[in-house]
Amino acid sequence: METTVYNQKGESAGKVALPESIFGLKWNADLVHQVVVSMQSSARHSIANTKTRGEVSGGGKKPWQQKGTGRARHGSTRSPIWVGGGVAHGPRKEKNYDRKVNKKTKVKAFLTILAQKHRDGELLFVDTLSFGAPKAKDAKIVLMALSKIKGFEKLATKPKNAAIIAVDKKHPELMKSFKNFGNVEVEEFRTVNPVSALNHKYIVITNPAESLKMLEAKIK
């Protein structure tokens, strides 16, 4: 299995062999859903918090005597049925949304997504991306050049989550050049996860030889 590798001018720069053990994986919707939902849940932070009747102020004295007034009996103004009272069964910030995801399951889901992206024509291999200095102008030129490749026209036009550029190692100039682009995210390939992969239409992988070695090392 081979695919074309391009340079940052959008021109063909050769071929790269894709391991069948990775890019031959069939789509597994159940596996991907399980991993993605679990990761999104683990990333959730509890913010909403209500006070119970034991935490609101006031209510030390019985509103009125138990009998003889003709009104319903009440023991405290902190009761949930009173305005300003505590909340019954409300959200609490102590709730834990963490979900455990097996490491091998997470890796399998990520590889499954990559294989499907490749079949859908949404995976682009670029030999190298480099800038002498951080310049958004140069980054735009590269995006326009890559968007001329058949199937990747939306790289430069999709307003949100157009692509994630997965680099083999940290490139400060490259990351700073794309910093102000709201539709493109630059991330080290080793840190790309199933959620970020699915959130973007395209995945651009630089230095495919090294990147593929990282993938193969994950499944050993």
150-208: pLDDT as tens digits: 999 998 888 999 999 999 888 888 889 998 888 999 999 989 999 999 999 999 999 99
In the chain, the number of structural domains is: 2
Instruction: Looking at the structure, tell me whether residues 134 and 153 fall in a common domain.
Output: yes
Give the pLDDT score at 220. Answer: 67
CB 162 within 8 A of CB 168: no
> pLDDT per residue over 81-139, tens digit each?
999 999 999 999 988 899 999 999 999 999 999 999 999 999 999 998 888 888 899 89
Instruction: Looking at the structure, tell me whether residues 61 and 77 fall in a common domain.
Output: yes
State the first-to-last Cα distance of the chain, in angstroms, to the nearest integer.
Answer: 20
Tell me the longest C-alpha to C-alpha distance in the chain: 94
Instruction: Looking at the structure, tell me whether residues 200 and 134 fall in a common domain.
Output: yes
Instruction: Looking at the structure, tell me whether residues 70 and 146 fall in a common domain.
Output: no
| pTM > 0.85 | no
Q: Which domain holds residue 33?
A: 2-44+98-218
Instruction: Looking at the structure, tell me whether residues 121 and 174 fall in a common domain.
Output: yes
Instruction: Looking at the structure, tell me whether residues 192 and 88 fall in a common domain.
Output: no
Cα dihedral 85, 87, 88, 91 in deg (nearest 10):
-170
Instruction: Looking at the structure, tell me whether residues 92 and 116 fall in a common domain.
Output: no
For the domain that residue 10 is a member of, what is the CATH number?
Answer: 3.40.1370.10
- The label of the residue with tokens 């913010």 reads 47
Instruction: Looking at the structure, tell me whether residues 139 and 157 fall in a common domain.
Output: yes
Cα dihedral 27, 199, 117, 211 in deg (nearest 10):
-110
Residue 218, pLDDT above cutoff 80:
no
Residue 40, pLDDT above cutoff 90:
yes
